[in-house]
Amino acid sequence: MRLAFFGDVMGRSGRHALAEHLPRLRRRLSLDFVVVNAENAAGGFGISARICDDLFDLGVDVITTGNHAFDQREELALFDREDRLLRPANFPASNPGKGAGLFRTHDDRQVLVVHLHGQRFMNPMDDPIPSLERELAQIELGREADAVIVDMHAEATSEKYCVGHYMDGRASLVVGTHTHVPTADAQVLPGGTAYQTDAGMCGDYDSVIGMEKSGPISRFVTKMPGPRLAPASGPGTVCGVYVVTDDKTGLAKSIEPIRVGGRLAESQPAPV
């Protein structure tokens, strides 16, 4: 199976970049399944129903979020009615929506997507490991699921690595989101799980992690609060990972970074 995961979509720049490049990438790489983290898609804070629909129309199969999951008021109802939109599984059980789902591909294979929220340097949440085990209790890679994708939305690289190694051999891909910078450590772990610490963002990299530069710089320099931060609006780079799995085991055969458009050096897997 050919899988792609794209990092945090940041505002209009990220949405436009994804709209420009994703349909072509889906055809060029013959992608079977696409996951996009879009927790910053609506002006940098959350996601809207319209944006959600636009992403699905582009060819996105599942949308994950993170700590900004409920920043938009309309999202509360959206998470309850849209199964393809996930919030972290270790959010309180009373929260709208769900943190995992088993989804079918166009050729009737099944992909389990699990979304987790980190604990280090972020708002306190339940331990992600019990949540992960709960979602995997009835679904095993290579049996009930042809692929398992884990989005670890976390600040600490060490926490992401721990989840990657913990899941090695039980997931097709463990990929980090949240820090908005693509890391250079794409690899297949010894047990066959593809891993990258952070997929990076889809957005304008002439920015401070996707935000227009002047606001964050002013806050660092003056130590004073300022106006609400706004996403940078220049040309966006689409960042993510491309994974090819073994059809029998569901484990990864390869992982390659994707970087297309905008300011970053381009990295595109060879066409199928």
Residue 48, pLDDT score: 93
> Domains plus CATH for the chain?
2-260 (3.60.21.10)
Give the angle 99-103-107 at the CA atoms, nearest 5°.
Answer: 165
Catalytic pick among 68, 117, 178, 180: 68
pLDDT per residue as tens digits for the range 69-112: 888 877 778 999 999 999 999 999 999 999 999 999 999 999 99
Question: What is the rounded distance in angstroms from the CA atom of residue 14 to the CA atom of residue 18?
Answer: 6
pLDDT per residue as tens digits for the range 134-154: 999 989 999 999 999 999 999
Tell me the average pLDDT across 250-256.
98
Both tokens of 154, joined, read: 């976390």
| pTM for the model | 0.95
pLDDT per residue as tens digits for the range 166-219: 999 999 999 999 999 999 999 999 999 999 999 999 999 999 999 999 999 999
Question: Which contacts of 49-57 are long-range, i.e. CB under 8 A and separated by 24 or more positions?
Answer: 49/74, 49/78, 51/15, 52/78, 52/82, 52/85, 54/15, 54/19, 55/9, 55/15, 55/18, 56/84
Active site residue 68: yes
Rg (the chain; Cα; Å): 17
Q: Strands 2-6 and 62-64: what pairing?
A: unpaired
Q: Strands 173-177 and 147-153: what pairing?
A: parallel
